[in-house]
Structure 1
Amino acid sequence: MKYALLIHEDHANYKDEDGWNEIIRRHEAFGEAHASAIVGGEGLNGPETATTLHRKGEETMVHDGPFAEAREQLGGFYLVEVASLDEAMAIAKDIPFAGDGSVEIRPCIDEG
């Protein structure tokens, strides 16, 4: 089964170049350690680059930035294919963070 591992953290932790380089190195090591399960993923640019479309009835509104102001923002994701939620959680526990953060583990719709 495929699971999306959605990484939420404070982008303020990535302001200095040394911190940025260190977290990239840690994600590369994570990718190598879990290469057999990872089928995709990407880091995302900061929330200030986001555009959000919000629909209410027939009206669509466009907002610069994320829909909700929050300390933690969606920073990236991994797509993994594993046999169980337990395996997905074990991988998610290894995802590196520059500070505090969370990982939302969401099963993908099984179209098989």
Structure 2
Amino acid sequence: MQFLTLIHIDPTLLAALPQDEYDRLMRGCFEKADAFRDAGCLLGSQQLEDPATARTLRVREGLSRVTDGPFAETREFLAGFNLIEADSMEAAMAIAREFPWARFGSIEVRPVRDMQSVRTRVGAPA
């Protein structure tokens, strides 16, 4: 099964972290990510730029509107993600626990839907 880990960060908590500690944590994350990738558990990962660089598109009643920033006002923002392979939600949570970012926000772990089965169900061509 595939799972997406969505890493949400509280910028206030992250800003309080000394730069050398942040760098140490990031090095550790890269080392863990490399090990998970080599073991076939990590399929992809990426950090996201600051929310101030985002644009949000909404279409309502045929009219599109683009606004700066994320969709909703929130203290935490989406900072990155990992696409992982695991046998169960519990195994995916164990992988998520290996990364330190829940101390500075939260890590949401969500199963990835099988798009091929949805494609088949709705009759979309392959």
Is TM > 0.5 for Structure 1 vs Structure 2? yes
* Alignment partner, residue 50 of structure 1: 54
Query: Do the aligned partners of residues 91 and 80 (structure 1) sit closer, same or farther apart at CA in structure 2, a change above 3 Å counting?
Result: same
Deviates more, 1:67-76 or 1:97-106: 97-106
Name which of 41, 45, 49 aligns with 1:41.
45
Stretches of 4+ aligned residues off by more than 6 angstroms: none
TM alignment of 1:62-101, pairs within 5 A: 62-97=66-101, 99-101=103-105
Cα RMSD over matched residues? 2.1
* Alignment partner, residue 28 of structure 1: 30
Query: Do the aligned partners of residues 10 and 70 (structure 1) sit closer, same or farther apart at CA in structure 2, a change above 3 Å counting?
Result: same
Q: CA deviation at 1:102?
A: 0.9
Structure having the larger proportion of residues in strand: 1
Name which of 89, 100, 104 aligns with 2:108.
104
Gaps of 5+ in 2: 118-126
Structure having the larger proportion of residues in helix: 2
TM-score by length of structure 2 reads: 0.76
Percent identity of paired positions between Structure 1 and Structure 2? 38
Q: How many residues align?
A: 112
Larger radius of gyration: 2
- Structure 2: distance between partners of 1:30 and 1:51: 31
Amino acid at match of 1:28: F
Q: Is the 8 A contact 1:8 1:75 kept in 2?
A: yes
Deviates more, 1:10-19 or 1:63-72: 10-19
